[in-house]
């Protein structure tokens, strides 16, 4: 049996969707067995990403208008103001979960954001001076 990587990948996806742990494919005298290892692929990938990237992503806890209060490269202290969220006529403060440098801002000033949307990324380890790319 010729092993087709694309088909194997599609099969693995199907197994995940249907909560299958083992699939055996037989064709003539050759056979191949696929086994999904727990923790499932999706979750494992997430953990890997976190290990590779020490950045802290700040997400929106509300639905509202994003009002930017820092710029990329700014040093912020833990508890410092990062942004405000305007929900109807009320403004809510978005404060920094850690001290660090603002690495990236994902949302344009004045745009609407949903609950859980990434707003900006902090580099908690970096020094206040020139940002390394």
Partner 1 sequence: MMPTFRRVLIANRGEIAVRIIRACRELGIETVAVHSDVDADSLHVKLADESICIGPAPSRDSYLNIAAILSAAKITGADAIHPGYGFLAENDRFAELVEQSGFCFIGPSATSIRAMGNKVAARKRMEEAGVPVVPGLYLNGQSTSSDVIAKVKPPLLIKAAAGGGGRGMRVVRAEEDFDSSLLAAQNEAQSAFGSREVYIERYLERARHIEIQVVADRFGKTIHLGERDCSTQRRHQKLVEEAPSPVLTPELRHRMGEAAIAAAAAVGYYTVGTIEFMLTQDMEFYFLEMNTRIQVEHPVTELVTNVDLVKLQILLAAGEPLAMESMEELNGHAIECRINSEDYTKNFAPQGGTVKALHLPGGPGIRIDTHIYEGYRIPTNYDSLLMKILAKGSNRREAIIRMQRALGELVIEGVPTTASFHRKFLDDENFINGAIDTGYVERWLGSTRS
The binding site for partner 1 (CB under 8 A) comprises 17-19, 62-65, 87-88, 90, 112-117
Smallest distance from partner 1 to CB 118, Å: 12
**Please, which residue, 102 or 119, has the CB nearer to partner 1?**
119
Q: Rounded to the nearest whole angstrom, what is the least distance from the CB of residue 64 to partner 1 in the complex?
A: 5
- Rounded CA separation 68/77 (Å): 16
Give the span between the Cα atoms of 85 and 67, in whole angstroms. 6
The minimum distance between CB 17 and partner 1, in angstroms, equals 5
Q: Which is nearer to partner 1, 78 or 114 (CB)?
A: 114
Q: Give the residue with the Cβ less far from partner 1, 61 or 75.
A: 61
Taking CA atoms, 122 is separated from 17, 50, 58, 72, 100, in Å, by: 34, 13, 8, 9, 6
Instruction: Fill in the DSSP letter of residue 131.
Output: -
Residue 112 or 128: which CB sits closer to partner 1?
112
Shortest distance, CB of residue 50 to partner 1, whole angstroms? 19
Q: In what order do the strands lie in the sheet with 56-59?
A: 56-59, 118-123, 100-105, 75-76
């Amino acid at each position: 049996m010729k092993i087709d990587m694309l088909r194997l990948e599609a099969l693995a996806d199907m197994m995940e969707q249907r909560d299958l742990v083992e699939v055996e494919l037989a064709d003539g005298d050759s056979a191949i067995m696929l086994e999904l290892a727990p923790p499932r692929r999706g979750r494992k990938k997430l953990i890997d990403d976190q290990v590779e990237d020490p950045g802290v992503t700040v997400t929106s806890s509300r639905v509202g208008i994003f009002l930017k209060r820092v710029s990329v490269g700014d040093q912020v202290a833990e508890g410092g103001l990062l942004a405000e969220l305007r929900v109807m006529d009320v403004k809510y403060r978005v404060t920094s979960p850690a001290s660090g440098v603002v690495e990236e801002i994902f949302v344009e000033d004045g745009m609407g954001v949903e609950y859980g949307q990434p707003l900006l990324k902090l580099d908690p380890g970096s020094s206040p001076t020139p940002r390394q790319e």
